[in-house]
Amino acid sequence: MFKCFYPSEDISSAYDIDYEKYYKKGYRAIIYDIDNTLVKHNEPATLKAKELFDKLRRIGYKMCVVSNNKEPRVADFAHDVDCEYVFKADKPSKKGYVAAMEKMGSDIGNTFFVGDQLFTDVWGANRSGIHSILVKPINPKEEIQIILKRIPEKLVLYFYKKSKKYVSL
């Protein structure tokens, strides 16, 4: 029932992902959510985010940030980390993910997604056929519309984690 919301996998933080491992598996492009995935909500690009994107470029990745936010927010962040961007992506619609892949010259076979929300980020990536990685939100203080989404997310995450235990037995 909830499987369409399940991430391909979950990792604590975007900064804890073994990017070299994914590169060896053939991935060449990464789509990121920004807020609470790479930085706190509405925070500018941090030194940590800039260093991550520099590392990813050295590995050989192309990156694109995809956000439901307005262009000034998304463009400023993308400029600071030097990557492509899609604003007002209307996640979980597939259009933002498809636009990101077009900008990067990638496809569903060599692109993965990293985000912190099930009902927008992960569901949109899954609907697009992209490998999805769910990370924990950086900051627990969020806007009310996100807080309200986190309540049903907990139920979905309960069944997701339960299914992982069942599969791994």
Q: Are 61 and 23 in contact (CB under 8 A)?
A: yes
- Cα(139)–Cα(39) distance, rounded to whole angstroms? 8
Domain ranges for the chain, please list them: 3-168
| Structure confidence at residue 52 (pLDDT) | 98
pLDDT, residue 169, reads 38
Distance of CA 46 to the CA centre of its chain: 17
Residue recorded with tokens 């069942």: 166
Q: What is the pLDDT along the chain (169 residues), one digit of tens a residue?
A: 688 888 999 999 999 999 999 999 999 999 999 999 999 999 999 999 999 999 999 999 999 999 999 999 999 999 999 999 999 999 999 999 999 999 999 999 999 999 999 989 999 999 999 999 999 999 777 666 666 676 777 777 777 877 776 554 3
Quickly name the fold that domain 3-168 has: Rossmann fold (3.40.50)
Instruction: State how far the Cα of 146 lies from the Cα of 165, in Å rounded to an integer.
Output: 28
Q: Are 121 and 89 spatial neighbours (Cβ–Cβ below 8 Å)?
A: no
Query: Measured between alpha carbons, how far is 94 from 127 in angstroms, rounded to an integer?
Result: 6
d(CA 120, CA 63): 19
Token readout for 110 is: 């060599």
